A and B are shown apart, each in its own frame.
Chain A
Amino acid sequence: MWAFLATEILFFGGMFCAYTIYRNLYHEAFASTSHFMNVTIGGINTAVLICSSLTMALAVRAAQLGQKKPLIWLLIFTLILGSVFLGLKAVEYHEKWVDHHIPGPGFHYADARYAQQAQILFYLYFAMTGLHAAHMIIGAGLLITLIVMAARNRFSAAWYTPVDMIGLYWHFVDIVWIFLFPLLYLIGHTK
């Protein structure tokens, strides 16, 4: 599983690298965009994901101990928290749509000096959070599979490998967000 996660690290790593390059090229423009990010929703979403990581870790623990009921409930909680994250993300995307902050012909930026450069940041914003959200959606699908498998008594204290693997995947997606949140929402906030 960690071999797969290593490829995922590089997958996201490429985007973080692109972000780093453009942030250094267009420092001021990038800093100015964080005013238009919804820190409240971003912060709540960070907390939601951390909570979901806790429930996932506890689900793996329940699986280790062969406790079927707690396992199913903890997986359901994780799924709910993941859905809350995606729901709030949709609210944020809608905000960007209303503010004309979606890159393309309709893009409009308050500070005309930075219009072009800010568009690059919003492009990166949608690429990075979009890829992250895609991972969340896949993760939700995997969780549903786990819940069904657990309900059908497929796991025991002796064999719970899928729960362990998908747990690792879920935590990895959480880590990506741990980096996305400060980079996209918080940096340049004082300016």
Chain B
Amino acid sequence: MSHPVVPIKVYVGVFLALIALTFTTVAVSKLELGEYNFVAAITIAVVKALLVVLFFMHVKQASAMTKLFVVAGFFWMAILFVFTLSDYFSRNWLPRGKWW
């Protein structure tokens, strides 16, 4: 698990970006954007999560194997979401058959 030592500057930079994004997400939530409030909130959260994963968790410098595991984790969560939601959202699309 050895990885090169990252300068403190990088950590502080990421930290400041995360704090700035937290203020941004609170500010944006007060604007009237309709459905885009949700999109904006999630986009900012994803950017913050990426910063943490890449820099604080050192995935940026990690081996291909580690990266594979990281991607697999999120990929499996995507499967969970896509299959569950495609079921829930499509339930009323077809007329009910007579055998129901």
User: Would A54 and B76 count as touching, CB distance under 8 A?
Assistant: no
Contacts of A164 on B, CB cut-off 8 Å?
1
The answer to whether residues A58 and B81 also contact, given A2-B73, A182-B29 and a CB cut-off of 8 A, is no
Query: How many interface residues does A have (CB within 8 Å)?
Result: 46
The answer to whether residues A46 and B22 also contact, given A57-B11, A182-B44 and a CB cut-off of 8 A, is yes
Q: A84-92, A119-127, A171-179: which lies at the B interface?
A: A171-179
User: Would B88 and A24 count as touching, CB distance under 8 A?
Assistant: yes
Contacts of A182 on B, CB cut-off 8 Å?
25, 29, 41-42, 44-45
Contacts of B3 on A, CB cut-off 8 Å?
64
Say whether B94 faces chain A, with CB atoms less than 8 Å apart: no
The answer to whether residues A50 and B15 also contact, given A6-B73, A9-B73, A187-B37 and a CB cut-off of 8 A, is yes
CA distance in complex: A8, B54 (Å): 18
Within 8 A of B (CB), among A1-51: 2-3, 5-6, 9-10, 13-14, 16-17, 20-21, 24, 39, 43, 46-47, 50-51
Contacts of A20 on B, CB cut-off 8 Å?
81, 85
Say whether B64 faces chain A, with CB atoms less than 8 Å apart: no
Contacts of B90 on A, CB cut-off 8 Å?
none
The answer to whether residues A21 and B84 also contact, given A43-B22, A175-B53 and a CB cut-off of 8 A, is yes
- Secondary structure at chain A's binding surface: helix, strand, loop or mixed? helix
Contacts of B22 on A, CB cut-off 8 Å?
43, 46-47, 50, 181
Say whether A190 faces chain B, with CB atoms less than 8 Å apart: yes
User: Would A186 and B69 count as touching, CB distance under 8 A?
Assistant: no
Contacts of B84 on A, CB cut-off 8 Å?
17, 21
Q: Point out the residue from A5, A17, A53 that lies within 8 Å of B56, measured CB to CB.
A: A53
User: Would B6 and A61 count as touching, CB distance under 8 A?
Assistant: yes
User: Would B53 and A186 count as touching, CB distance under 8 A?
Assistant: no
Least CB distance from A178 to B in Å reads 5
User: Would A190 and B29 count as touching, CB distance under 8 A?
Assistant: yes
The answer to whether residues A175 and B85 also contact, given A54-B15, A190-B29 and a CB cut-off of 8 A, is no
Seen from chain B, the residues whose Cβ lies within 8 Å of a Cβ on chain A are: 1-3, 5-6, 8, 11-12, 14-15, 18-19, 22, 25-26, 29-33, 37-38, 41-42, 44-45, 48-49, 52-53, 55-57, 66, 69-70, 72-74, 76-77, 80-81, 84-85, 88-89
Ranked nearest first, the 5 interchain pairs of A and B with the lowest CB-CB distance are: A6-B73, A186-B29, A182-B41, A13-B77, A2-B69
